[in-house]
Chain A
Amino acid sequence: MTKPVTLTINGIQVEAPPGTLIVDAAKKVGFDIPVFCYHPKMEPVGMCRECLVEIGRPVIDRATGEAVLEEDGSPKIQFGSKLELACATPVSPGMVVLGKSDNAKAGRDDILEFLLTSHPLDCPICDKGGECPLQDLTMAWGPGVSRFLYEEKQHLAKRYPLGELIMLDRERCIQCGRCVRFQDIFADDRVIGFSQRGRSLEIVSYSEPGFDSYWSGNTTDICPVGALTTMDFRFGARPWELRLAASICSQCAVGCNLALNVRREVVTGGDWVVKRVMPRQNEEVNEIWICDKGRFGHHYAEQGPKRLEQPLVRKNGELQPASWDEALDLIAERFGSAGAGLFTLAGSRLANEDLFNLDQLTRRLGGKTGLYTHMGGGKLTTQVGLTPGSNFKDLGGGGENEPPDAVLVVGCDLEEEAPVWWLLLRQAAKRGAAVIALNPRATKLDRDARFSLRYPFGSAAAAVLAMTSSLSQKPHDLPESIQDLSRNPDLKAAAKAFAEARNALVIFGSEGMGLAESAALAQACANLLLTTGHTGKPNNGLLGAWPRANEQGAWELGWEADANLLEHLSQAEALYIVAADPVNDDAAFQSAFGSDKFVVVQDLYLSQTARLADVVLPVQSWIEREGSYTSGGRRVQRFYPAIQSTTAMPPKTEAPGVRRASVLTGSVPELQGPQADFAIPSLIAERLQMDGLNHSSAAAVFAQIGETVPVFAGLTYQKLAEVHEQWPIVGRADMYYGGTLYENTQGLGVQLELARTGAPAQPQPAWSQVEDFRLPKLGLMAFPVTRLYDQGSTLMHTELLHQRIGESFVVLNGFDAARLKISHGGKARITFNTSAQSVIVQVRLDAALPERVVLVPRSFGLSIDAPTPVEVRPAG
């Protein structure tokens, strides 16, 4: 450890590590130096000059090198003739900083006077008003009047859309450059920039679509004025009208901490409405950033006319509204008689509490459960996954005598599958961590990767085996398809860097893979980790870039991906399908329904699968209830109810209608409206005279999880709600420092210990299990890929993103495009040889793709669960 520097700030003696900037050192002792352009997550640029302070330094006698002393024995301090920047000046020993002196105040006052000569002061109509750094600092430090001519104010475009997500007000911009720097440093999408100079400087975007980045919303948080606002929130509410509910993002496995801002509105009859989604600080998960899908993709969870409001029971062939009692009685009777014939299929956007209760009910009846996902290998992540104390922020270049950390990302387009992990890895790479991108095609991660390696499509597991093999004295027999890669000296170098790394972890995805292939890949990755000793300690292990928020939680609770889904659905006597819509994803599943099978579907909307059900049960969305998710990093985190659930009564009812009776009271005679997913299996159990299933509250269910599931042992909601001080300090009255994001006061969550299943995990002799995958000699092969913005039934509720999602498409390689005379943006008919599904879609070209390869994005209306042969023909 280097010795801390001692200095004095505003008369208070302070210690700070060498290199600390004055502005941060002051912040740590509770003194806020105002800033506009400085941001604690970015290097200083000194553009706005608002952080002016007086700085004095001890006078050193050049002859002796000793400090010159005053008559009273104190060191003589020499102050500079001008004010200096607190944001760009590091602390030095004996330094005296005066942040509140008349000189410093006068300097800030003048800077604000200058800034306001080109700012419209339209606070009453500005979305930022009420949480605006410029407004706050003008009140605190600014002049009451201006010496400049008011008529000479800059007049610029007030409505300049930077694309359809972000609106720019050029008059309000104070040219701090935070947005441009964020896009450069963090997002690596240089799609907004400065044009012109000096007073004429303005923000421009030339990308197509405008501001083409998954990260654009973050710039609105760190913009210190109302220049950048989201189209979603613009003119939506005043900040002081908003209340906050702590939440966790439901879109992917990263588990970003969110703050849902809500208020009551007339249009909803006085019900609570989510007005905007903001990041909530968790330096161990998402720091202070979220992607635009997390920020804008929550609309599916809102109340709306298409939401299911009451149970439906099939009578005379039609689904008809019914009471909860009627529906639950029927279900209890049929599930009870089905017994072992019950098959419960659950989607992984369900909370831990839901999955636990569904499992309990099914298991006690003797039935089977299955997790609905396209990705396997989760069991391994419970054995060799991350352990408590892991944090992407710790990854970097190692120490003086330590090798750098290494991260292998394999079979995964990380920015598309787990965006914030990509953002954090880019920062880790900048700190010196060796990022190894091992993929079948180029991805954005390659830009920051030390090693970018390619394997042929279909050979992900074999590629990881080749890495492990290259470390072995006795090389293994590798499949033919991977021979070229195994001879690549970079592969050997990457494997060596991984093996020798201080810490090493593997993130695997589902690029081009189905369930079987991703499970094989996970095993290969676990082998690599186990043979190199990178398991069982913090910042080492295996992470899945799961498609949904709580897939890790499902695996931890004993759920497993169902590899024989069609068979299980077909053979079951009764089906309980929760938060899954298999029929929509693949029409082939329809064959499993019908006859005298009893089908219960529990969902937010009347899904394709629900249309085939005998009973449909309405549920509360994640923003309407309490629960917990387990992130891909094995962190269990709580989300809190943000709004009340949909009422069965329309708001215009004259008589004070029966409000939805809450299950929370426990002894309500009649249930109304949607219920929480965890409550329903418990209510069914109650009717079957089965005890031990809790539905009184999510906390009670979680307590039960803590008692029954070993990895959750000792965990309670109170533990999950614990916080400790995080750096940088954000989200208090000092929004000019970190932005308008929120401080975490509601819980940082807890990382799970590894599952101890008897003997410690051993590498599996999986060499022979990896089949030599070859593209067919003739014809095209389609591989499923994940896009962040897809046509999934949840995201399509966000109309704002429709343009970015675009129409259904496939990506074709250049060779076959030329052979078939299909151009970029053209139309083609794609026919799946196995399912005979045939549709006309848009074709995008990727000249870098190998011959005979077609990429088919998931959730774009095309049924693809694994690599499959296809035919492509030009159409129109």
Chain B
Amino acid sequence: MLERKYLAEKYAQEIQAILEKYPSDRRQSAVMPLLYLAQRDKMYVSREDILEIGEILGITSTEVASLIGFYTLYYDQPKGVYRIQVCVDLPCALRGAEKFLTELCDRLGIQPGETTPDGLIAIEPVMCLAACDKAPMFQVQSGAGLTYHENQTVENALSLIEQLRRDAAGRRVAGHERGRDANG
């Protein structure tokens, strides 16, 4: 039993809304949206979140964790503020997705699967994102949610990354100022 129920306290209404979408004897089907909710909170699903989601749905934490392992959508480790997932499945590869991934990583000075030194951008290859005709394409996951970026070039992608970095810096400043206000 968990002492503190972090998700239930912070997202009571969201959880309620998610659970209401499923019949009461199919509660465990809500595991996908609940995992997504937990991940949006801190860009990964913590061990405590896994336990809590299991308790909410009446399934074991091992079952919850298995799903995190199965889907590339979910992470159980913190890694990057923005996670860029490039689809390299066969149709995308035929449209140059692998080359795109390699070049993009080269320009950022990291290997696929790694995070930039500032800890902001993580890039990884994933399987089918269902946009074969618009490859090279990737999705960006962040606390704000998921965005698709299709028909990409390396230059396009780099300017998007610059934008993401500026957003992150802006939020950091805003965060500091809020902190000062609260203290002052």
Tell me the complex Cα distance, A193–B60, Å: 10
A 195-235 to B, binary, CB cutoff 8 A, 1 in contact else 0 = 11100001011110000000000000000000000000000
Q: Which residues of B sit under 8 angstroms from A314, Cβ to Cβ?
A: none
Between-chain CB contacts (< 8 Å), 6 pairs: A191-B60, A194-B70, A195-B66, A206-B60, A206-B62, A845-B1
Q: Which residues of B sit under 8 angstroms from A194, Cβ to Cβ?
A: 66, 69-70
Tell me the complex Cα distance, A195–B61, Å: 12
Other A-B pairs beyond A190-B59, A193-B66, 18, CB < 8 Å: A190-B60, A193-B63, A193-B65, A194-B66, A194-B69, A195-B65, A195-B69, A195-B70, A202-B69, A204-B62, A204-B65, A204-B69, A206-B50, A206-B60, A206-B61, A206-B64, A207-B60, A207-B61
A 162-198 to B, binary, CB cutoff 8 A, 1 in contact else 0 = 0000000000000000000000000001111111110
Tell me the complex Cα distance, A845–B59, Å: 20
A193 touches B62 (CB 8 A): yes
Return the chain B residue nearest A205 by Cβ.
B62
A197 touches B62 (CB 8 A): no
Determine if A824 is an interface residue (Cβ-Cβ < 8 Å): yes
A189, A195, A205, A207 interface centre (most CB from chain B within 10 Å)? A195
Return the chain A residue nearest B54 by Cβ.
A206
Determine if B84 is an interface residue (Cβ-Cβ < 8 Å): no
Tell me the A66-110 residues at the B interface (CB within 8 Å): none
- Could you say which of A190, A196, A845 contacts B69, with CB atoms under 8 Å apart? A196
B62 touches A192 (CB 8 A): yes
Tell me the A829-867 residues at the B interface (CB within 8 Å): 845
Tell me the complex Cα distance, A192–B62, Å: 6
Return the chain A residue nearest B70 by Cβ.
A197
Q: Which residues of A sit under 8 angstroms from B63, Cβ to Cβ?
A: 190, 193
CB distance from B145 to the nearest CB of A (A): 24
- Chain A's interface size range is 10 to 19
Write the residues of chain B forming the contact surface with A, with a CB cutoff of 8 angstroms: 1, 47, 50-51, 59-66, 68-70
B51, B61, B64 interface centre (most CB from chain A within 10 Å)? B61
B62 touches A190 (CB 8 A): yes
Interface of A is mostly: loop
Return the chain A residue nearest B61 by Cβ.
A206
CB distance from A346 to the nearest CB of B (A): 42
Tell me the complex Cα distance, A207–B59, Å: 11
Tell me the complex Cα distance, A205–B55, Å: 16
B1 touches A191 (CB 8 A): no
Q: Which residues of B sit under 8 angstroms from A205, Cβ to Cβ?
A: 62
Tell me the complex Cα distance, A195–B72, Å: 11
CB distance from B58 to the nearest CB of A (A): 10
Return the chain B residue nearest A195 by Cβ.
B69
A191 touches B70 (CB 8 A): no
Q: Which residues of B sit under 8 angstroms from A189, Cβ to Cβ?
A: 60
Tell me the complex Cα distance, A587–B55, Å: 42
A824 touches B1 (CB 8 A): yes
Q: Which residues of B sit under 8 angstroms from A204, Cβ to Cβ?
A: 62, 65-66, 69
Tell me the complex Cα distance, A190–B61, Å: 9
Return the chain B residue nearest A207 by Cβ.
B62
Return the chain B residue nearest A193 by Cβ.
B66
Q: Which residues of B sit under 8 angstroms from A191, Cβ to Cβ?
A: 60, 62
Return the chain A residue nearest B76 by Cβ.
A195
Tell me the complex Cα distance, A189–B47, Å: 19
CB distance from B171 to the nearest CB of A (A): 32
A195 touches B60 (CB 8 A): no
Contact A206 to B65, CB < 8 A, known contacts A190-B59, A824-B1? yes
- The 10 A-B pairs of least Cβ separation, nearest first, read A195-B69, A193-B66, A206-B61, A206-B62, A193-B62, A206-B65, A190-B60, A196-B69, A191-B62, A190-B63
CB distance from B75 to the nearest CB of A (A): 12
Tell me the complex Cα distance, A205–B63, Å: 9
Tell me the complex Cα distance, A337–B103, Å: 101
Tell me the complex Cα distance, A175–B63, Å: 17
CB distance from B19 to the nearest CB of A (A): 20
Q: Which residues of A sit under 8 angstroms from B1, Cβ to Cβ?
A: 824, 845
Q: Which residues of B sit under 8 angstroms from A193, Cβ to Cβ?
A: 62-63, 65-66
Tell me the complex Cα distance, A602–B144, Å: 73
CB distance from B55 to the nearest CB of A (A): 12
CB distance from B28 to the nearest CB of A (A): 11
CB distance from A823 to the nearest CB of B (A): 9
CB distance from B113 to the nearest CB of A (A): 12
Tell me the complex Cα distance, A190–B59, Å: 8
Q: Which residues of B sit under 8 angstroms from A196, Cβ to Cβ?
A: 69-70
Q: Which residues of A sit under 8 angstroms from B59, Cβ to Cβ?
A: 190
